[in-house]
């Protein structure tokens, strides 16, 4: 895909996923996620050509201008969109598929100091919510959704929805008819049972407090 067509696809992705976007020109002029993506294109080209220091300098300027840090080595697919963007960090060996959507505060980070694949791989059509952290050489399957504030340190299957710390799968979307198949959540079930038990105990305590107590015997006179 040519550069201009690819840039147009980025604008189209922003228009499609952000209802606040009213025109192509608005996206091109005012969206930091779009700016960060274009700066990364240049930095990535330098990085692939062996100009590592200039690539890092370009990336550093992009970070200062947009608040989004994308390592020049990261590989990003078409139709990528970063919504709001402030605080997003994308590590060196990250691979991002087509039509992915990241919100502000997302980290695609690593846990190893080895010079190897140490950052996440995102499939196509992945959505990562605000403040979520995807850490290590894990794979996020196509069409997966990572809930805001989640911390993901293991692989996520395709079409799954993940929430929590650590992140766990709570639902699947049937790609055939978009039916959401919710899974049992033992932790949430336990919390609900505890809340119900606490409510019952509070009612019993209130009832006991309302009952009249036995009359106290008169105090004996002092000798």
Q: What is the pLDDT of residue 181?
A: 64
Handedness of CA 10, 131, 120, 123 (dihedral sign): negative
- Per the listing, tokens 């990250």 go with 94
Q: What is the pLDDT of residue 209?
A: 82
Residue 164 vs residue 34, higher pLDDT = 34
Under a CB-based contact definition with an 8 Å cutoff, are residues 35 and 62 in contact?
A: yes
| Rg from Cα positions in the chain | 26
Dig out the tokens for 214 from the structure: 């036995």
Dig out the tokens for 44 from the structure: 């990535």
The count of other CB atoms within 10 Å of the CB of residue 78 is 15
Look at domain 3-186 and name its CATH class.
mainly beta
Q: pLDDT tens-digit profile of 40-77?
A: 999 999 999 999 999 999 999 999 999 999 999 999 99
Calculate the alpha carbon distances from 137 to 11, 119, 121, 129, 194 in Å.
Answer: 30, 5, 7, 19, 37
Dig out the tokens for 38 from the structure: 């274009």
> How far is the C-alpha of 92 from the C-alpha of 75, rounded, in Å?
8
Of 1-15, 58-72, 117-131, 137-151, give the lowest mean pLDDT range: 1-15
Dig out the tokens for 145 from the structure: 């959704």
206 burial type by CB count under 10 A (0-12 exposed, 13-18 middle, 19+ buried)? exposed
> How far is the C-alpha of 105 from the C-alpha of 82, rounded, in Å?
10
> Across 99-108, 160-169, 200-209, 211-220, which has the greatest mean pLDDT?
99-108
Dig out the tokens for 62 from the structure: 């992009």
Of 38-42, 119-123, 171-175, give the lowest mean pLDDT range: 171-175
Of 130-134, 161-165, 186-190, give the lowest mean pLDDT range: 186-190
**Proportion of the chain above pLDDT 70, given as a percent:** 88
DSSP label at residue 115: S
Q: What is the pLDDT of residue 189?
A: 75
Q: Looking at beta carbons, which pairs linking 145-151 to residues 24 or more positions away fall under 8 Å? A: 148/103
Task: Name the residue among 155, 19, 143, 7 with its Cα closest to residue 80.
Answer: 7
Dig out the tokens for 41 from the structure: 């294109």
Of 6-15, 75-84, 112-121, give the lowest mean pLDDT range: 112-121
Helices (H), the chain: 3-17, 24-30, 32-48, 52-66, 186-210
Handedness of CA 19, 36, 162, 132 (dihedral sign): negative
What is the average pLDDT across 4-19?
Answer: 92
- Domain locations along the chain: 3-186
What is the average pLDDT across 135-140?
Answer: 94
Dig out the tokens for 46 from the structure: 């330098």
Q: What is the pLDDT of residue 2?
A: 82
Q: pLDDT tens-digit profile of 74-110?
A: 999 999 999 988 999 999 999 999 999 999 999 999 9
Q: What is the pLDDT of residue 223?
A: 52
Predicted TM-score (pTM) of this structure: 0.75
What is the average pLDDT across 171-184?
Answer: 68
Residue 112 vs residue 198, higher pLDDT = 198
């Amino acid at each position: 895909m040519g550069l201009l067509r690819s840039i147009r696809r980025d604008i189209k992705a922003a228009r499609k996923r952000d209802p606040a976007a009213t025109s192509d020109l608005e996206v091109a002029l005012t969206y930091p996620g779009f700016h960060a993506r274009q700066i990364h294109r240049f930095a990535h080209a330098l990085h692939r050509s062996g100009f590592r220091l200039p690539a890092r300098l370009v990336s550093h300027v992009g970070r200062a201008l947009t608040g989004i840090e994308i390592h020049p080595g990261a590989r990003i697919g078409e139709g990528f969109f970063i919504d709001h963007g402030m605080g997003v960090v994308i590590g060196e060996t990250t691979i991002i598929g087509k039509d992915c959507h990241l919100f502000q505060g997302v980290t695609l980070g690593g846990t190893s100091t080895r010079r190897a694949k140490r950052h996440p791989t995102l499939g196509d059509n992945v959505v990562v919510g605000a403040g979520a952290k995807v850490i290590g050489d894990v794979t996020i399957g196509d069409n997966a959704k990572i809930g805001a504030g989640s911390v993901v340190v293991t692989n996520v299957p395709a079409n799954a929805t993940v929430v929590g710390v650590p992140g766990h799968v709570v639902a699947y979307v049937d790609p055939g008819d978009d039916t959401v198949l919710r899974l049992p959540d033992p932790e949430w079930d336990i919390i609900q049972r505890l809340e119900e038990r606490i409510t019952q105990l509070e009612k019993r305590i209130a009832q006991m407090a309302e009952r009249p107590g036995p009359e106290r015997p008169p105090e004996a006179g002092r000798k």
